Structure 1
Amino acid sequence: MCGIVGYVGCKQATPVLINTLKKLEYRGYDSAGIAVMNDDEILVRKAKGALRVLTEDITKEVVRLNDKMTGEECDAREAELIAATDKFVKGTIGIGHTRWATHGEPSDINAHPHTNVSGTIAIVHNGIIENYAKLKEQLQAQGIVFKSQTDTEVIAHLVNFFYEQTNDIFEAVKLALKKLEGSYALGVICKDYPDRIIAARKDSPLIVGLGKNENFIASDVPAVLEYTREVYYLDQKELAVVYSDHVDLFTEDGEKIIKEPSHIEWDMAAAKKGGYAHFMLKEIYEQPKALKDTLHPHLVFNGDKAVDIKFDEMDFSSIFENVDRIIITACGTAYHAGVAARYIFEQLTRVPVVVDVASEFRYKNPIISNKDVVIIISQSGETADTLAALRLAKEAGAKVIAITNVVGSTVSREADRVIYTLAGPEIAVASTKAYTTQLMCLYLLALKMAAARNTVSQKDFEYYLEQLELIPDQVEQILKDQSNTQKFASENFNKNKVFYIGRLIDSASSLESALKLKEVSYMHSEAFAAGELKHGPIALIDKETLVVALATQKALYEKINSNVQEVKTRGASTLVICQGDEQVFVKGESADTIIKIPQIEDIFAAITAIIPAQLFAYYCSVLRGIDPDKPKNLAKSVTVE
């Protein structure tokens, strides 16, 4: 997601801030900005778009400097650069930010840093402030005029509120943090304290880099590796006061902390993995946060209870009226999310759903009317076949809703409406968190549509929202105890054939599970609706076969258990992934291994059921000596046919 950097030292801050922000571009962003302490004022420069837009706005010389010169050459040219242009933001302390839009569209105004009204306090923020609307209302009642649509600007004004009371910037930040609900990594500078940066974190990562007569803050290690390999990892709710010659660490209550810095041994590529062996594993473990980030901005609360769903300022009511049919089209993993969505939409909205692979949809002369709603799903927002399907649907007069992970992508620009999966950048080729956040968006959209069409009662609607809120924590619970999955992979990673079976929405999960395994381990894997086994595939079952049954639909436990017993009696090894309440599957009788996921309403189990399958694919890949991040012949974004 967003990237935060900060510098305090003896060098000019601007080139350092730009350089460190470049190292965080992989995180994904739609705008960038810096704030630099310049004598008795804070100068802010920010711009929508790529980082180069910001650097070109500041000075073309800085662009050339950072693109072509080493650190020593930068130092040698600093005086020349400063003399060359009055647009260069001068000063030796500053903060920077690359933003991935959550609250408010990508724009110059919504870009960070944000300031208080007088411009004497500037902040950068990564995370989501869940109670920002309430805080904003309170601040507006005191006469504060907001410039942006962001949740972050609330923090700047809140810090200023407490600063006016305490006249102490550290105390002001500390008091403001106690009012915030949600996640944050913060960098704060104040005109009256021109020698320090205040940093703090909760849920969002933040480090402090320790240099010689200079120190740094950053969202991730790669930003500072060019300057230092000594860092403090800020723990939950810790604060840091960063000076050029030392750093003080504190608890949320202001008690001083003494800790030893960590020495970074990783190379640049490994550092970006955050200590995980592979990006795929890192991204699997990022799913609880990604799901929470995707879900929470869309929930409307009455007290602590979610009572409605919102999609920012987008009006979906005109789309939901007079809908005859929903068409979902996508490719690969996104297509599998669409297959799952067919069950979700038909059950909740009672509208018929057609799901097509985008590369087929565009060539089959599809029947489309202006009463159809077409949902386009693309992680990158640039998938060629999916874009072609989108354009075809619009030409036919259908309303198009896009679900994508990339702000400003072609899909997001051309669709009538767009919903973003706030998964952050996904570097591993095989999608994991993209898939689960796509499902989360589809659940939200289906529920909103069901409410608009009165196909679910308000009571059931609010119950379903409660169930959705459980999912991120349930995924985290699965990830905390996945020893059974790892053990099962160690016993079965050399199987010649792997079949995934399931019924109803589990059959969609089976498709994605089989794809994940073949992508990263090169094991032959296929997926079938469980009832289809006897119509052909069972002929392939032998002792070299592994059958994985996804069984989360309570009414069909007995049916899927019969299918598992059928393959087991023919020599197959068997794994069952089921909800924690089941009593049907017996280890040793029908299943060799049973992995139980937390209990949830059946229709919402598609997200939690896929987590063990993702882990199984990852461990099989590693055990077979394959790099799961870079499977052969595959690319992250497919922009050609």
Structure 2
Amino acid sequence: MCGIVGAVQTHGNVVPAVLAGLKTLEYRGYDSAGLAVMTPHGIQVRRKSGKLSALEAELAQNGVPPSSQALAHTRWATHGAPTDRNAHPHCDDRGEVVVVHNGIIENYAELHGMLAAQGHAFSSETDTEVLAHLIAHFHRNGDDLHSATRKAMALAHGAYAVVVISAREPGTMVAARLESPVVIGVGEHGRYVASGIPALLNLTRDFLVLENGESARLTPTGHEIYDARGQRVERAPFRCEWTPEQAEKGGYAHFMLKEIEEQPDVLARTAFDRLRDPEGDVAFEDEFGLDDAALRGFRRLRFMAMGTSFHAALLGQMLLAELARLPGETLNASEFLYSARLPEEDSLTVIVSQSGETADSLRAMREVQARGGRTLGICNVRGSTLAREARHLVLTHCGPEVGVASTKAFFGQVAALYMLAVRVGRARGTLSREQGQARLLDLRKLRPMLDPLFESDAKQAVEAAADLLVPVRSCLYLGRGLQLPVALEGALKLKEISYIHAEGYPAGEMKHGPIALIDPSFPVVAIATPGRSYDKMISNIQEVKARQGRVIAVAARGDRKVAALADAVLPVPEVAELLAPLANVIPLQQLAYTVALRLGRDIDQPRNLAKSVTVE
């Protein structure tokens, strides 16, 4: 969940580029930040608790010299409070070996005790400092930096991505990973390393990814990759199509606002090149790898994900049941490990993850594979662990998502799952060509129908709805059928960035408990758009109003019945029912954003959260 950036070049000062890269990874953690630079007289380190801006202020007062080798880190605290002394980078007690780390070392207490008994003096409460001392122990006894790092990590239990530099070996940088991601950038004048590709787009577009158990030695002119046994691995770089501009705000006040407004274009990027309109079908790229015979052979589906991706997975289950007539279930990935072992031969497990690095989802995927099951990844990041390890893959092509509260990734996931439902339906014969054509036409027609959601009257409606939420401490989101996952997602967005307690509920469950909470200070957000659940939602709204509750309704533009009942209306276009979640989620994202903005919250970096949860 922490962010790492490192660079080693033949010449020039890499410090500004490393700090710029770190800023793009600050969504991974913002409890503290630090920088280490190699100098002719050893390694200089600067660390500061708080956000990256605190480190920048420290560097303005207490700068570092220009350097062609630098290492930086932004932290999400796991061991030790977010203080200056617990911030990364960490060094050994001689200041020779410097380490940054993402992950958790589970046996750090035992290693700490062993090293302390040998005379090592510690200065922090972190598990990471133990690694610096352990690597230094082997380094002092004759091992080069790469060998010392490999020996140290062999003794460490847990998950890690580490990058190490040593004053004894200037011009060398060593990286190693187990479970936590590491990417290596290949440039004309240097080598670079980071937790994620966006951090290095200002330096290179060519990347390698370390696999589990691998390590790498980086120098200004080359790189060597080694497997867990210490054998050399040859691997060609891949070219990333993302641009540095995609990872910048581009004039918006917040990444979240930018990413909300990108969603109509995300639909085009995710879907339109894959649609085969004359055939009424979808053609995924080769990595999908499931032909008609394979798709006909599955008898059940399992979806697994966490957070926002879990809500997209719920919709995927419903869409596949509707269009492909395949039964399925959706599980929180962290709970799958405790489930009964059932036969997997006739099932397909779909793992949904924006980053492709979510620890619980990856562990669940590997457990499915260990049980003999087949896995399909739905992912936004090419080269991620999910993209590499899932047997089958659909990329969402959303572009980098930087805001911690996910928006466009959810949109791309649902669009991809809709296309998957069409593809499977056509393969299984549950959709005719004509029916498939109609479903694809619905998808193409959706893109221009979304534009009014970003016009001034829609924004005024969001502002009016925000008036009802800003003063309260709790609220309820209600939906039925396809709109239940949207209600869950809307509630999650509000609680993530405004810190208002919000619960998403099946509207039919309201009378089984939550109705006791309803009073004038407890608003209800109800999704009441046209479709099979519309009449029931009208009844739910009337039940809330009968108890003096205040209602914010997501409703079709011009729906006078809902307007007569609700205190505020978020108007949406009337679209095909199976695609309504894509339209209905946008005003709920805008509502959460507006409420958080009014309350003065840190929208892109809400407290205690990190974008990519890479530890369990």
Distance of 2:358 and 2:317 partners within structure 1: 21
**CA distance change for structure 1 residues 99 and 21 in 2, over 3 Å: closer, same or farther?**
farther
**CA distance change for structure 1 residues 368 and 433 in 2, over 3 Å: closer, same or farther?**
farther
TM-score between both structures, scaled by the size of structure 1: 0.60
Does the Cα contact within 8 Å between 1:500 and 1:511 map onto a contact in 2? yes
Does the Cα contact within 8 Å between 1:17 and 1:96 map onto a contact in 2? no
Q: CA deviation at 1:423?
A: 1.2
Name the aligned partner's letter for residue 98 of structure 1: R
Q: CA deviation at 1:495?
A: 1.6
Other-structure match for 1:599: 574
Matched, 1:299 2:275: yes
Q: Which moves more between the two structures, 386-395 or 491-500?
A: 491-500
Uncovered stretches (5+) of structure 2, i.e. residues with no partner? 1-10, 26-180, 194-201, 209-234
Matched, 1:54 2:27: no
Other-structure match for 1:39: none
**CA distance change for structure 1 residues 220 and 321 in 2, over 3 Å: closer, same or farther?**
closer
TM-score between both structures, scaled by the size of structure 2: 0.62
Residues 115-160 of structure 1 deviation map (CA, whole Å, 9 limit, x = unaligned): xxxxxxxxxx87xxxxxxxxxxxxxxxxxxxxxxxxxxxxxxxxxx
Matched, 1:286 2:418: no
Other-structure match for 1:9: none
Name the aligned partner's letter for residue 274 of structure 1: G
Other-structure match for 1:374: 349
Uncovered stretches (5+) of structure 1, i.e. residues with no partner? 1-13, 29-48, 65-94, 102-106, 113-124, 127-217, 223-271
Q: CA deviation at 1:554?
A: 2.1
Q: CA deviation at 1:367?
A: 2.5
The 3-state SS of whatever aligns with 1:608 is helix
Does the Cα contact within 8 Å between 2:477 and 2:490 map onto a contact in 1? yes
Other-structure match for 1:501: 478
Does the Cα contact within 8 Å between 1:309 and 1:444 map onto a contact in 2? yes
Q: CA deviation at 1:482?
A: 2.1
Does the Cα contact within 8 Å between 2:186 and 2:192 map onto a contact in 1? no
Distance of 1:523 and 1:18 partners within structure 2: 39
Residues 217-272 of structure 1 deviation map (CA, whole Å, 9 limit, x = unaligned): x96499xxxxxxxxxxxxxxxxxxxxxxxxxxxxxxxxxxxxxxxxxxxxxxxxx3
Q: CA deviation at 1:451?
A: 0.6
For the aligned residue pairs, the C-alpha RMSD in angstroms reads: 3.2
Which of 83, 86, 98 pairs up with 2:205? 98
The 3-state SS of whatever aligns with 2:323 is helix
Matched, 1:615 2:590: yes
Does the Cα contact within 8 Å between 2:482 and 2:578 map onto a contact in 1? yes
Which of 452, 467, 471 pairs up with 2:442? 467
Matched, 1:630 2:601: no
Q: CA deviation at 1:491?
A: 3.8
**CA distance change for structure 1 residues 384 and 109 in 2, over 3 Å: closer, same or farther?**
closer
Other-structure match for 2:312: 337
Distance of 1:63 and 1:586 partners within structure 2: 56
Other-structure match for 2:503: 526
The 3-state SS of whatever aligns with 2:205 is strand
Q: CA deviation at 1:391?
A: 0.8
Does the Cα contact within 8 Å between 1:521 and 1:626 map onto a contact in 2? yes
Distance of 2:267 and 2:22 partners within structure 1: 22
Other-structure match for 1:312: 285
Does the Cα contact within 8 Å between 1:405 and 1:423 map onto a contact in 2? yes
Q: CA deviation at 1:275?
A: 1.4
Alignment of 1:211-230 (within 5 A): 220=245
**CA distance change for structure 1 residues 554 and 457 in 2, over 3 Å: closer, same or farther?**
same
Distance of 1:63 and 1:438 partners within structure 2: 30
**CA distance change for structure 1 residues 51 and 637 in 2, over 3 Å: closer, same or farther?**
closer
What is the aligned-residue identity percentage? 34
The 3-state SS of whatever aligns with 1:634 is coil
Count of aligned positions: 414
Other-structure match for 2:120: none
Q: CA deviation at 1:527?
A: 1.2
Distance of 2:391 and 2:430 partners within structure 1: 24
Other-structure match for 2:614: 639
Q: CA deviation at 1:475?
A: 2.9
Name the aligned partner's letter for residue 421 of structure 2: A
Residues 560-593 of structure 1 deviation map (CA, whole Å, 9 limit, x = unaligned): 1110011112111101112337453233xx2112
**CA distance change for structure 1 residues 291 and 307 in 2, over 3 Å: closer, same or farther?**
same
Does the Cα contact within 8 Å between 1:341 and 1:439 map onto a contact in 2? yes
**CA distance change for structure 1 residues 63 and 443 in 2, over 3 Å: closer, same or farther?**
closer
